[in-house]
Amino acid sequence: MLVLGIESSCDETGVALYDSARGLLAHELHTQMAMHAEYGGVVPELASRDHIRRLVPLTEAALQAAGKSYADIDAVAFTQGPGLGGALLAGASFANALAFALGKPVIPVHHLEGHLLSPLLADERPEFPFVALLVSGGHSQLMAVRDVGDYTLLGESVDDAAGEAFDKTAKLLGLPYPGGAKLSELARLGTPGAFVFPRPMLHSPDLQMSFSGLKTAVLTAVQKVRDETGSDNIPEQTRNDICRAFQDAVVEVLAAKAQKALLDTGFRTLVVAGGVGANWKLREVLGGLSVRPPAAKGGKRPPAEQVQVFFPPLEYCTDNGAMIAFAGAMHLQSVQKAGGFGVKPRWPLA
Ligand code: KG4
Ligand code: ZN
């Protein structure tokens, strides 16, 4: 079965072809980053219009790259939500119109399910069950994943998502939009320990997280530097040191919560997904993760156990069509007839 996947929930138009027997055949992506950069954030109306412009050429490019034609498509999967309403509608309309014209089914896909199944696109695939750490611009969640479609929310950020905190902090450090990845690169040049920021909710007994206070701590540090230097410009090394300290704080919280989720569930496989999954420090820290279960009453504490950690290939960390085509292929059983294409801008996965 050949599934065409369409992603248009925010500022990336992604189109891909996934063959249930042969795997991913092609994927095409257009990012609107440059278009939104001059406004310092995503402008929803511009995003929708650009998706409309890109969907047909990207689909044709994907078909050509895979050596396929429209007639070969067996089903069309699209991101139904969550995301920007207008942007979602562009993809939903295209997917439904194409499926209707071809007489094939449409498969509505939850954007976060796309992210959390994306590590299954790698050659080395995790086995169920696993804990998924979903860290994107809109979400920071820990999920217990027992099978395709069997998800339990274990905990999430009570305020800003991790990626959102990266972007907002980058903005207040004067980095161009979208600053998350840039901040992470500058953190490589920062001196560890030159600044220390709080680790919000690190020791809370649950799996909830909070990142908005961290951004305020950075703002306070920046203001202090400005007062001390008497200039609005932050010296380059100081800015890099702040980036380093910010990233270290976020990564420490994410790693500790992931560890707790593994202990709580008893699972020993962790899957990291979403844009922040591209972060080098997160990959470094989680790459060597182990968990040590507590001692049973009166007994000795058992030794630490190694955790198997899976990251999606970098190109599938941020929004893309491949993860939607793949999730669609996994859901072929629960297809919906073409037509009636509601979108779900707000849609919890579990
Ligand atoms: O998953 P994604 O492409 O879109 C959403 O569904 O939100 O994630 C985008 C987010 C942005 O907030 C971006 O700043 C962040 O992922 N991001 C990073 C890195 N690369 C992208 N955050 C930290 N370090 C990175 N290297
Ligand atoms: Zn996403």
pLDDT tens digits, one per residue of 283-331 = 999 998 989 888 888 888 889 999 999 998 888 988 999 999 999 999 8
Q: Using 50, 70 and 90 to split pLDDT, how confident is the model at 334?
A: low
Strand-strand pairing, 23-31 and 75-81: unpaired
| Shared-domain flag, residues 140 and 228 | yes
Helix/strand/coil for 86? helix
Helix/strand/coil for 245? helix
Give pLDDT tens digits for 195-221. 999 998 998 999 999 999 999 999 999
Q: Is residue 343 one of the residues assigned to a domain?
A: no
Q: Using 50, 70 and 90 to split pLDDT, how confident is the model at 338?
A: very low
Helix/strand/coil for 26? strand
Centroid of ligand 2 to alpha carbon of 65 (angstroms): 24
Nearest-atom number in ligand 1 for the CA of 111 is: 6
The answer, yes or no, to whether residue 95 has pLDDT greater than 50, is yes
Mean pLDDT score across all residues of the chain: 93
279 is annotated as contributing to ligand binding: yes
| Shared-domain flag, residues 132 and 259 | yes
| Shared-domain flag, residues 203 and 156 | yes
Q: Is residue 341 one of the residues assigned to a domain?
A: no
320 is annotated as contributing to ligand binding: no
Q: Is residue 319 one of the residues assigned to a domain?
A: yes
pLDDT of the residue at 115? 92
Q: Is residue 210 one of the residues assigned to a domain?
A: yes
CATH number at residue 64: 3.30.420.40
| Shared-domain flag, residues 28 and 80 | yes
| Shared-domain flag, residues 55 and 70 | yes
| Shared-domain flag, residues 84 and 165 | no
Is the separation of the CB atoms in 321 and 29 below 8 Å? Answer: yes
Q: Which ligand is nearest to the CA of 323?
A: 2
| Shared-domain flag, residues 244 and 328 | no
Q: Using 50, 70 and 90 to split pLDDT, how confident is the model at 41?
A: confident
For residue 40, is it left (φ>0), alpha (ψ between -120 and 50) or beta? left
Closest residue CA from atom 3 of ligand 1: 318
Looking at residue 47, its amino acid is A
| Shared-domain flag, residues 167 and 100 | no
Q: Is residue 12 one of the residues assigned to a domain?
A: yes
312 lines ligand 1 (CB under 6 A): no
13 lines ligand 1 (CB under 6 A): no
166 lines ligand 1 (CB under 6 A): yes
Q: How far apart are CA 246 and CA 228, in angstroms?
A: 20
pLDDT of the residue at 312? 86
| Shared-domain flag, residues 94 and 167 | no
* Total domains, the chain: 2
Q: How far apart are CA 138 and CA 164, in angstroms?
A: 7
247 lines ligand 1 (CB under 6 A): no
Give the structural domain span for 165: 127-310
Centroid of ligand 2 to alpha carbon of 210 (angstroms): 19
| Shared-domain flag, residues 164 and 267 | yes
Q: How far apart are CA 85 and CA 239, in angstroms?
A: 36
Burial of 216 (0-12, 13-18, 19+ CB in 10 A): middle
Closest residue CA from atom 20 of ligand 1: 181
Centroid of ligand 1 to alpha carbon of 338 (angstroms): 32
167 is annotated as contributing to ligand binding: yes
Centroid of ligand 2 to alpha carbon of 275 (angstroms): 7
136 lines ligand 1 (CB under 6 A): yes
278 lines ligand 1 (CB under 6 A): yes
Q: How far apart are CA 339 and CA 249, in angstroms?
A: 47
Residues 6+ apart with CB under 8 A from 342: 80, 92
Q: Is residue 34 one of the residues assigned to a domain?
A: yes
Q: Is residue 86 one of the residues assigned to a domain?
A: yes
In sequence order, the β-bridge partners of residue 271 are 132, 310
Centroid of ligand 1 to alpha carbon of 171 (angstroms): 14
137 lines ligand 1 (CB under 6 A): yes
pLDDT of the residue at 272? 95
Phi and psi angles of residue 82, each rounded to the nearest 5 degrees, phi first: -75, 165
The answer, yes or no, to whether residue 47 has pLDDT greater than 90, is yes
* pTM of the shown model: 0.90
167 lines ligand 1 (CB under 6 A): yes
Looking at residue 119, its amino acid is P
Give pLDDT tens digits for 242-292. 999 999 999 999 999 999 999 999 999 999 999 999 999 999 999 989 898
| Shared-domain flag, residues 219 and 177 | yes
| Shared-domain flag, residues 187 and 260 | yes
